[in-house]
Amino acid sequence: MTAVRGVRAAVLTELARPAPYAESRPLEVRELDLDPPGPGELLVRLRATGLCHSDLSVINGSRPRPLPMVLGHEAAGQVVEVGPGGSDFAAGDHVVLSFVPACGSCRRCVAGRPALCEPGAVANRGGTLLSGTSRWLAPDGTRPHHHLGVSGFAEHAVVSAASAIRVDDDLPFEIAALFGCAVLTGAGAAFYSARVVPGESVAVFGLGGVGLAALLAARAAGAAAIVAVDVVEHKRALAVELGATHSVPGGPDAVEAVRELTGGGADKVIDTTGSEKVLAQAYAATTTGGTTVTVGLPHPDRQLVLPALSLVAEERTLRGSYLGSSVPRRDVPRFVDLYRAGRLPVDRLLSGRLTLDEVNTGFDQLASGDAIRQVVLL
């Protein structure tokens, strides 16, 4: 079994350093060692990792995680070595990594809801792999944490095999990476959480990588009207290119605009913003009998206030959706097939390519709304 020495990795050592990150440099590229993969684990040569708002939430302190941590959770790469005891992976396999390792045997996994895997959640909260350990080793003998079992901003990583999904060798890594978070979360939210069916009206609040993936999936599912809502004009323009039938500037007036465009509220509304205020708007923009889905992650202290009567009197549904309520091992191949068929053109989400040393600048671009999905090429 191979240990890897001197792996270049972007390490977060302190929460909530002030923006701009190009100056405060919350992520420091350091050389770490990696222990060999244990049983049920894989050593992966990472090749591409996307920058996601959930990374930003860790960096800015609104989603605290144990530190130091090798950040990044939307990644693709190639298996270098399989841990002792073997697995259904082999060296050379191309893999997408899911940010929830699914043990396969807890009550949530056996109920078909691997996004809610209980040991997976414990490992992710603790910053370890599913085995409860960290394979990272710093020169001072300490063990940096894994981010959501992935630690994608690094040249190599050890991951639980339960985090990996095999994909075809000819799928470019920079596209493959997007399936691990943006596409699973966004497309899953439209297909499985909102259950968009042909002819429905859909509104999407927040047009980052996840929101645009939701929009593409709503279109693929046959939505008749798709209203795209965001404060950033160029994101609304891209949404229209990708199939939105209308676009509306984000803000308090968006509710009335969506209601008007959809004849009294959209059948399905998907909020991806992570703001409880926008979630309340998304709910208000949903029609009687409709479903509001949220995939955003507000600060844990935030409360949501809604007109309680509407849930019953209007038969309304409000659904949370983690990892798009998807089953990664089933859905990554499904969504890749839809991509290949031209029905889910997720390559359009890719707005920039970075080196590992440019990762802080990349997060400035994401925070400012300039970027949709940037990937670090490794």
Q: Which residues bind Zn ion (CB under 5 A)?
A: 52, 54, 103, 106, 109, 117, 181
Of 95 and 183, which CB lies nearer to Zn ion in the complex structure? 183
Of 19 and 122, which CB lies nearer to Zn ion in the complex structure? 122
Sheet holding 69-70, edge to edge: 136-137, 27-34, 4-12, 69-70, 145-146
Residue 123 CB, shortest distance to Zn ion, in Å, is: 10
- In what helix (H) or strand (E) does residue 70 lie, and over which residues does it extend? strand 69-70
Of 54 and 281, which CB lies nearer to Zn ion in the complex structure? 54
DSSP state of 127: T
Nearest 10 degrees: Cα torsion 140, 146, 152, 156 = 50
Q: Cα–chain-centroid distance for residue 217? A: 15
Residue 189 CB, shortest distance to Zn ion, in Å, is: 13
Residue 102 CB, shortest distance to Zn ion, in Å, is: 5
Nearest 10 degrees: Cα torsion 209, 211, 215, 217 = 70
Which residues are CB-neighbours of 263 under 8 A, at least 6 positions away?
201
Residue 84 CB, shortest distance to Zn ion, in Å, is: 22
Of 181 and 187, which CB lies nearer to Zn ion in the complex structure? 181
DSSP code string of 196-256: --TT-EEEEE--SHHHHHHHHHHHHTT-SEEEEEES-HHHHHHHHHTT-SEEEESSTTHHH
Residue 141 CB, shortest distance to Zn ion, in Å, is: 31
Residue 183 CB, shortest distance to Zn ion, in Å, is: 10
Cis peptide bond upstream of 20, omega within 30: yes
Residue 165 CB, shortest distance to Zn ion, in Å, is: 15
> Measuring CA to CA, which residue among 73, 3, 59, 62 is closest to residue 28?
59
Of 12 and 52, which CB lies nearer to Zn ion in the complex structure? 52
Residue 215 CB, shortest distance to Zn ion, in Å, is: 17
- In what helix (H) or strand (E) does residue 187 lie, and over which residues does it extend? helix 184-188
DSSP code string of 278-328: HHHHHHHTEEEEEEEEE-----TT------HHHHHHTT-EEEE-SGGG--H
Of 71 and 79, which CB lies nearer to Zn ion in the complex structure? 71
Of 68 and 72, which CB lies nearer to Zn ion in the complex structure? 72
Residue 132 CB, shortest distance to Zn ion, in Å, is: 14
Of 52 and 79, which CB lies nearer to Zn ion in the complex structure? 52
Burial class (CB in 10 A: 0-12, 13-18, 19+), 36: middle
> Measuring CA to CA, which residue among 21, 12, 41, 26 is closest to residue 156?
41
DSSP state of 154: B
Of 102 and 229, which CB lies nearer to Zn ion in the complex structure? 102
Half-sphere exposure at residue 73, Cβ-oriented, CA atoms within 13 angstroms: 26
Residue 187 CB, shortest distance to Zn ion, in Å, is: 13
3-state helix, strand, coil in the chain (%, to 5): 35, 25, 40
